[in-house]
Amino acid sequence: MMIESSPELKQVFANPTIVYDEKVKVLEALITRTRVRPTTASFLRVLLRNQRLAQLKDVAERFDHVLDERGGVVSANVTTARPLPDDMKNMVRQALADATGRTVRVSFTTDETIIGGLVARIGSTIYDGSVQSRLERLSEELAG
């Protein structure tokens, strides 16, 4: 998104001291330059009119989320100590799909502090199978 990638553009559309007509000129120039579809151009104009163009990224993310919900897709973030090979990623993706009964879009990240295993987050649910978590539980049990 051009607006998100340019702090100056984002500032223009977020700044209440810049006159609306000037913002329209800037937006129209961007629309002409990027040759977006007419429906996209109309949507951008509506966002500008409602003083929401600076939140375009948030609007797009929310829209994606709504489409995913309607399509039965959930997003998951899986953290492992080291990068996983593709076959393991597919196994994790399938296990999460089986656990949720939905299609799962997975993003993978690494964090060496979990030592081993993995931590999966789907919405507010966390599946913690990390070695770090297991060591903490064992420590608590031994402490008494």
Q: Where do the domains of the chain lie?
A: 2-62, 72-143
Is CATH 3.40.50.1100 the classification given to domain 72-143?
no
pTM of the entire predicted model: 0.62
| Cβ-count burial 56-74 (b if 16+ within 10 Å, e if not) | beeeeeeeeeeeeeeeeeb
Q: Which of 132, 105, 95 is nearest to 117 (CA)?
A: 132
For the chain, the average pLDDT equals 91
Report the alpha-carbon distance of residue 111 to residue 107 in Å, rounded.
13
Q: Which of 9, 22, 18 is nearest to 56 (CA)?
A: 9
Instruction: Determine the pLDDT at residue 4.
Output: 76
**Which pLDDT tens digit goes with each residue over 56-80?**
889 988 988 899 889 999 999 999 9
